Amino acid sequence: MAKTPTGKGPTGKTPAGKTPTGKNTSGRGQRDLKVQVKTARGRKLSSTRWLQRQLNDPYVARARKEGYRGRAAFKIMELDDRYRFLVPGARVVDLGCAPGGWIQVAIPRINALGEKSGKAQGRILGIDLQEIEGIPGAEIYQLDFMDDGADAQVKEWLGGKADVVMSDMAASSSGHKQTDHLRIISLCEAAAYFAFDVLEPGGTFVAKVLAGGAEGDLQKLLKQKFTKVVNVKPPASRADSSEKFVVATGFRG
């Protein structure tokens, strides 16, 4: 079972000249020692490439070392370090929360366990289609957020409206870049409409999208509903990935 980080957990920042593993890369005469994976009989080449990338990914190694459930934890870390929406006392809804890395990061930052004396205690609800292992400090529910009445159910569980709605959801890959782009934009739009129903005025919406040309309508919609909308690719996102994140703050209500 993964360890839940304490309130003094990692910031996600990497010192200059060091990799996410903490190793100095500025010295001369050093070699990158990469794990090479041979394609086994019956295994697709794409699977071999994925495995090799995982084994050589410093964020994967760091997540394993620090007890996070996935490398995506560092993406929300880096976004929050920059925009500061996971604050003590915040009420947060994490859509598509599996495997739980974003929740692990949020718990100490919103003081969900009440460990920071003198600070307001926050709450976080994780919502997902699949059942996932519990995390101390979080309330996790198995629910399709697009079902009729899902927004009302979430507000009932939360005891009111949320300060933050965040989503790292992605539709299953079809292998066709443009189709996948349209699918994730559609999913992000559904998450945005959910956020409009459950956010408090002044709230924040954070979601993953894929660059590809169809996100213009989503941007226009968000700019009507929020005072500030930015698009950012955090350092933890792989360089060869088309993913980026939209951070919309100041919900107009």
| Binding-site sequence positions for S-adenosyl-L-methionine | 100, 102, 128, 144, 168
Partners of 229 in the β-ladder: 248
User: Can you give the C-alpha Rg of the chain in angstroms?
Assistant: 19
Q: Are 188 and 212 in contact (CB under 8 A)?
A: no
Rounded Cα distance between 96 and 103, Å, is 11
Q: Which residue's entry shows tokens 């792989």?
A: 238
Order the strands of the 123-128 sheet from edge to edge: 139-142, 123-128, 91-95, 162-167, 199-210, 243-251, 226-232
Rounded Cα distance between 168 and 163, Å, is 17
| Cβ neighbours, 10 Å, residue 237 | 20
Residue from 75, 161, 208, 225 carrying the catalytic annotation: 208
Residue ranges of the binding site: 100, 102, 128, 144, 168
Q: Could you confirm whether 220 is annotated as catalytic? A: no
Catalytic site positions = 208
